[in-house]
Amino acid sequence: MGFPSDRLSRRRTNVTRPYLTVPVGFAEETELREGPAARPWLAALPVVLEELCGEWELAPQGPPWHGYVAVVVPVLDAMGTPAALKVSWPGPDQAPEAPTLRAWDGAGAVRLLRHDAARWALLLERLDGNRDLSAEPLDEAIGTIGSLLSRLHGATGADEIPHLRETAARWVDEIPAGWAAAHPPWPAALRDEVVDTCHALGRAAPDKLLHVDLHFDNVLAAEREPWLAIDPKGLVGDPAFESVAVLWNRVEEYGGDARAVRRRLDQWCEAAGIDRAAARAWAIARIVEDALDRLLGAAGDENDVSTHQLLVAALS
């Protein structure tokens, strides 16, 4: 479901034709992650952006931002209103974004203006891409995220948005298998605890619409509201499943102190109105699942699980 490497850090690039040129860094990262399959998609991306600008009567206004899976071009629509054209790598995490934003209809989240499913394209209202919660005082940032989530969870999901029950059922099988192959730095009792969480909380998960990845970089300043959520992964289920995003970002501010981890979880639960026991259980499950994915994946920094170890120790 994603750890800090999945964050969309809105990095500007210097290009002369912003809607025709794919940022070099984005192309390199996409090809490294997806392999040769990325090449034809990246080659076609400038044409896709040009077609969308023509069909939707958009005027590119500057160089694009890019993140882990998407390019975002600042544009003006036919009425001269600022907007943002986003085209994402076609993948399962990106598929629920449009129906999730449509269900929220701008209440606590960026507003979806247009959607082209075939080209994985969204036209979004323009927010302030230079101001997110990453530099705001931590207590205020946690309170803002909790407040937004309490609003977002009031919506119900559409049929095309997957349910947490499906994810939890899959993890019941995948986590023991991954554990046996990866040999993570935890006792087997933790594996059993995670499987029990998936059994018990997964089956009982309510039908609330979740963001899944609402961390400090995924909340931007706006004009119609002080802050709005962006980049939802989209899932239907238990709001407590959201807890880990605020824990595994801005980790340098823990200073290695386990008490700081627990204090942040307490603050987030209070702000979002979420049961702490369930939030803790889901956080550990997601941390373990991500750690196994890293240990079984690419070599190098990507399989570093030191932050995972800090969080699990603090929450256990």
Q: Is 77 a catalytic residue?
A: no
Please spell the DSSP secondary structure of 191-216, one letter per residue: HHHHHHHHHHHHHT---EEE-S---G
**What is the per-residue burial (b if ≥16 Cβ within 10 Å, else e) of 124-140?**
bbbbebeebbeebeeee
pLDDT at 4: 42
Return the pLDDT at 188.
Answer: 97
Q: E strands of 95-203, at which residues?
A: 112-116, 121-125, 128-132
- Please tell me which residue in 132, 213, 217, 290 is annotated as part of the active site: 213
pLDDT of the residue at 113: 98
- Report residues of the chain scoring pLDDT below 70: 1-20, 298-302
- pLDDT of 308 reads 96
Q: Calculate the CA 133 to chain-centre distance.
A: 14
Three-state DSSP state, 106: coil
- Two tokens, residue 218: 């995924």
In this predicted structure, what is the pLDDT of residue 309? 96
How many H-runs (helices) and E-runs (strands) does the chain carry? 10, 12
* Residue 187: per-residue pLDDT: 97
φ, ψ for residue 44 (rounded to 5)?
-85, -15
